[in-house]
Amino acid sequence: MNPIINEITASQVKKDTTPFKVGDGVKVHTKVREGDKERVQIYAGIVIARKGHGIHETFTVRRMSYGEGVERVFPVNSPNIDKIEVERESEPMKARLYYLRNRLGKAAVLVKEKRYEAPAAN
Amino acid sequence: MISSLLGKKIGMTQVYDAQNVLVPVTVVEAGPCAVVQVKTTESDGYNAVQIGFASKKDKNTSKAEQAHAKKGGLQAAPRVLSEVRLDAAPTLKVGDVVTVSTFSEGQFVDVIGITKGKGFQGVVKRFRVAGGPAAHGSMFHRRIGSIGMRQTPGRTWKNQSMPGHMGSERRTVQNLRVVKVIADKNLILVKGAIPGANGDDVIVRVAIKGQPKAVKA
């Protein structure tokens, strides 16, 4: 990418973000403005995708809300995100967990943890 | 002060503004533009200043251009020259430099550029004609169709859409908000897209249709 553009956006890219990855159960603390007041709203769910890079990077959080699947896309570098808490970690086999959309009930919130044994060093 | 500057389109990106809204912006390197010539009612019959942007090598410059640049107090001839009309006699002198600080955040600007060339295109792309069905043996896909009626009027109307060359035209995008001015790097960030490819020359001018209320006051 153009170095001039990189320089402009670099100052707005957050440096001290909580590391989280696809498959993690997260709580996203977002700042919500109501009139003059500002309060923090928490949105909890599973990260099913991380896309883009630099200032454009976004992540999608999916949750089941009253039996209905809800997905919300957040920009990683948004100043409206107060903080991100990682509640649960998992190691999914895919980079995008879109298959969770086809699941119902309890299966929809479970990401299988699949750990591969490291190949034995010969 | 003058109302327009010459510049170069750098590219697009996104930035957060003061309200924490992610705004799509185009980065334009505008100026510094040197005043090369001053025209007044006495000398030329109208008031204007000629400004130049960037520079080109001597080997690519004609002697006439070299002499003109020298008269304007420049080492090398500017790559782009443009005249800005003024209502009153110009206060700028030859040798003055106009920078991007002419513009301020929140202001509306117009950006003029040459659109990307698309070559010879059909009516579907060029004029958004609907075209025909793709399948079921229609045999009429992206064709132009009828271009007129019968003996009355007996001719094809003017401006009938037909295939031809598309793009590479001078276009103006009006009323783009200035999101940020980075004076020390001669950069200006305007909201939205502007004509042309990255690296193309553009003109940034104060919006002719006026300014938002907050800026005017």
Q: What is the predicted pLDDT for the residue at A112?
A: 61
> What DSSP element (H or E) covers B123?
helix B123-127
Domain that holds residue A38: 22-90
pTM for the full predicted model: 0.80
CA distance A107 to chain B (A): 35
Q: Do B123 and B197 meet the contact criterion of CB atoms below 8 Å apart?
A: no
Asked if B28 and B128 sit in the same domain, the reply is no
Q: What is the predicted pLDDT for the residue at A114?
A: 57
Strand, coil or helix: A73: strand
Q: Do A81 and B16 meet the contact criterion of CB atoms below 8 Å apart?
A: no
Q: Tell me, yes or no, whether A17 lies in a domain.
A: no
Asked if B17 and B81 sit in the same domain, the reply is yes
Q: Does B27 touch chain A (CB under 8 A)?
A: yes
Q: Which of B211, B150, B202, B152 is CA-nearest to residue B173?
A: B202
| Contact (CB<8Å) B15/A5 | no
Q: Do B35 and B81 meet the contact criterion of CB atoms below 8 Å apart?
A: no
Asked if B80 and B179 sit in the same domain, the reply is yes
Q: What CATH number has the domain bearing residue B79? A: 2.40.30.10
Q: Tell me, yes or no, whether A9 lies in a domain.
A: no
Give contacts of A5 with chain B, Cβ < 8 Å. 10-11, 13, 27
Q: Residue B109: which residues within 8 A CB-CB, separation 6 or more?
A: B103, B176, B178, B188, B190, B204, B205, B206, B207
Segments of chain B with pLDDT less than 70: 1, 214-217
Domain that holds residue B132: 119-166
DSSP string of B4-52, one letter each residue = EEEEEEEEEEEEE-TTS-EEEEEEEEE--EEEEEEE-HHHHSS-EEEEE
Identity of the residue in B10, B20, B22 whose CB atom sits nearest the CB atom of A4: B10
Asked if B195 and B156 sit in the same domain, the reply is no
Q: Tell me, yes or no, whether B216 lies in a domain.
A: no
Q: Tell me, yes or no, whether B50 lies in a domain.
A: yes
Give B129-140 pLDDT, tens digit per residue.
998 999 999 999
Asked if B135 and B111 sit in the same domain, the reply is no
Q: Do B51 and B29 meet the contact criterion of CB atoms below 8 Å apart?
A: no
Q: What is the predicted pLDDT for the residue at A120?
A: 60
Q: Tell me, yes or no, whether A47 lies in a domain.
A: yes
Q: Tell me, yes or no, whether B12 lies in a domain.
A: yes
Q: What CATH number has the domain bearing residue A66? A: 2.30.30.790
| Contact (CB<8Å) B189/A8 | yes
Asked if B159 and B108 sit in the same domain, the reply is no
Asked if B62 and B135 sit in the same domain, the reply is no
**Structural domains in chain B (count):** 2
Asked if B10 and B68 sit in the same domain, the reply is yes
pLDDT along chain A (122 residues), means of 10: 82 82 88 86 90 89 86 90 85 84 70 58 56
Taking the alpha carbons at both ends of chain B, their separation in whole angstroms is 18
Alpha carbons B23 and B14: distance in angstroms, whole number: 5
Give exposure, A13-46, as e/b (b: 16+ Cβ within 10 Å).
eeeeeeebebbbbbebbbeeeeeeeeeeeebebb
Asked if B109 and B187 sit in the same domain, the reply is yes
CA distance B116 to chain A (A): 19
Q: Tell me, yes or no, whether A55 lies in a domain.
A: yes
Strand, coil or helix: B213: helix
Alpha carbons A29 and A39: distance in angstroms, whole number: 10
- Interface pTM, i.e. ipTM: 0.73
Q: Tell me, yes or no, whether A61 lies in a domain.
A: yes
Q: Tell me, yes or no, whether A7 lies in a domain.
A: no
Asked if B22 and B98 sit in the same domain, the reply is yes
Q: Tell me, yes or no, whether B43 lies in a domain.
A: yes
Q: How far is CA A101 from CA A67, A104, B149, in A?
A: 12, 8, 54
**Structural domains in chain A (count):** 1
Q: Do A42 and A29 meet the contact criterion of CB atoms below 8 Å apart?
A: yes
CA distance A24 to chain B (A): 26
Return the residue of A nearest to B20 by Cα: A79
Q: Tell me, yes or no, whether A110 lies in a domain.
A: no
Q: Tell me, yes or no, whether B214 lies in a domain.
A: no
Asked if B125 and B20 sit in the same domain, the reply is no
Asked if B87 and B58 sit in the same domain, the reply is yes
| Contact (CB<8Å) B189/A12 | no
Q: Do A75 and B24 meet the contact criterion of CB atoms below 8 Å apart?
A: no
